[in-house]
Structure 1
Amino acid sequence: MSQSKFLETPKGRRLAYHLSEGAGPCIVFLGGLKSDMMGTKAVFLEEWARAEGRAFLRFDYSGHGESSGSFTEGCIGDWAEDTAAAVAELTQGPIMPVGSSMGGWQALLLARAQPQRIAGLVTIAAAPDFTEDGYWASFTEAQKATLAQTGQVELPSDYMEPYIITQRMIEDGRNNLVLRTPLDLPFPVRFLQGTADTAVSVSTAVRLLEHASGPDMRLNLVKDADHRFSDGVCLDLILAAVNDVLNASR
């Protein structure tokens, strides 16, 4: 596998990335919270894109993977800046974001900010507004007090080591919510969601579908699929969704 390249952003962050040249629209994979660009879904899609001669970009947000910074210093807005910088500097013309978990929220933020660049959109267990509706809404009074006193709180995860959630992440998340105001997605959109996902609920996926507006939007619920959504069947479903959006956007 090729070595990562690095992009210096206007905010002074150093982002690791892999870019495959090819036909557009460029597929931009946006990973989840504390995930990196070496994940199964990102590498699978890159291999497919290379075989098809299609442009593909994957990268690590700051505080993730090979990029600069630490995770606890980051927040949703920082990673949205990273995404915007990567798209601006490394891609040209139409793009098709594929966002997984927190990357789904990032994809929606990107689509809201730059709808003219988006040919279509795919999300996998998208987690919009999770800092408010997931973390803050579920915090006990003791956790809220700890957050106020120490600036952070530790949360267990079913999928990796515990998350350190900071006060800054919560406060910044409130500046980037997408389910409280109109969300127009005027291009083909496919949402994928597993019914056995313990990190993002089916109700969240349905809420996103019902909240967003657009001419061609579908939600595919996959029975017993979990948050990883990365076994062979799920990878095939992701690829089918990507191809469906590409065909619909022509």
Structure 2
Amino acid sequence: MPDYLTTPQGRRLAYNRTEGEGPGVVFLGGFKSDMQGTKAVALEDWAKRKGRAFLRFDYSGHGESDGEFIAGCIGDWAEDAQAAISELTEGPQILVGSSMGGWISLLMTQRMPDRIAGLVTIAAAPDFTEDSMWAGFDDAQKTALDMVEQVALPSEYGEPYIITKRLIEDGRNHLLLRGPIPLPFPVRFLQGTADADVDISVAHRLLDRAEGPDIRLTLVKGADHRFSDPDCLVLIEKTVEKVLARG
């Protein structure tokens, strides 16, 4: 059973925390995913084996947290992440952000830089509401978004995604790939070449915008967006260990 945290905004978030040595590791999940995902659970197992402090949590409207998914947006979920890191961890943290969690983790490096000791992203999707969703909408979808304030997108992961006007408009307040992104700590970007959800060009744009002394992009040929087969899971663990060693 998870524990629960009430954020300053009044949202009730589910989380699982593992006690251990610092710097701790925080996993930030993707869009409509939850903390029971393969990568989050595998990293928790790794942390327990290593005696490392670890946190995984559900954004509002995700998993076991309160709220409706369609009511949320990037700004809300970034507030959730900031509250979780602030209230549930101590000292510097290594952030591990998957897909949308990569975007959220990058926002955290700007909002609470004194708490970040390193960053690992997996198929990071910064700015996806604008560059993938909005840019991919046809005229009918844009009209529907304007008139009824939502549009349904098919998903290979289950039910269609309901994309709201608020999600798109709020996303524009948090765009990162339009300028430099200072990352003054060890950073590792992981990206599969067979990712059908986040194009490899996004990883290259992120690498180009990132500024810091220790930043690397690793491409895994044939890996898809889930990035959760046994080899990928081992790579994630080893990458976190390298960031910890260099921090």
Q: TM-score, normalised by structure 1?
A: 0.98
Equivalent of 2:180 in 179, 182, 200: 182
Equivalent of 1:215 in 213, 216, 228: 213
Name the CA distance, whole Å, in 1 between partners of 2:185 and 2:58: 26
Q: Secondary structure at the match of 1:164?
A: strand
| Residue 152 (str. 1) matches residue 150 (str. 2) | yes
Preserved CA contact (<8 Å) 1:126 1:191: yes
Q: Cα RMSD over matched residues?
A: 0.7
Equivalent residue letter for 1:185: L
1:79-121: CA deviation from partner (whole Å, max 9, x where unpaired): 0000000011101100011000000000000011111111100
Q: CA deviation at 1:159?
A: 3.2
Preserved CA contact (<8 Å) 1:158 1:198: no
Q: Secondary structure at the match of 2:232?
A: helix
1:93-152: CA deviation from partner (whole Å, max 9, x where unpaired): 000110000000000000111111111000000000000000011110110000001100
Match of 1:164 in 2: 162
Structure in which a larger fraction of residues adopt strand = 2
Name the CA distance, whole Å, in 1 between partners of 2:209 and 2:157: 28
Q: CA deviation at 1:51?
A: 1.1
Structure 1 residues 220 and 160, CA gap change in structure 2 (3 angstroms): farther
Match of 1:52 in 2: 50
Match of 1:102 in 2: 100
Equivalent of 1:143 in 136, 141, 144: 141
Q: How many residues align?
A: 247
Match of 1:43 in 2: 41
Match of 1:201 in 2: 199
Name the CA distance, whole Å, in 1 between partners of 2:222 and 2:158: 19
Match of 1:61 in 2: 59
Match of 1:13 in 2: 11
Q: Which runs of 5+ in 2 are unaligned?
A: none
Equivalent of 1:74 in 68, 72, 75: 72
Q: Secondary structure at the match of 1:162?
A: strand
Name the CA distance, whole Å, in 2 between partners of 1:7 and 1:214: 33
Match of 2:82 in 1: 84
Name the CA distance, whole Å, in 1 between partners of 2:66 and 2:206: 32
Name the CA distance, whole Å, in 2 between partners of 1:191 and 1:134: 19
Name the CA distance, whole Å, in 2 between partners of 1:28 and 1:116: 15
Q: Which runs of 5+ in 1 are unaligned?
A: none
Name the CA distance, whole Å, in 1 between partners of 2:120 and 2:160: 27
Name the CA distance, whole Å, in 2 between partners of 1:210 and 1:161: 35
Equivalent of 2:190 in 186, 189, 192: 192
Q: Give percent identity, aligned residues only.
A: 66
Match of 2:131 in 1: 133
Q: TM-score, normalised by structure 2?
A: 0.99
Name the CA distance, whole Å, in 1 between partners of 2:184 and 2:3: 33
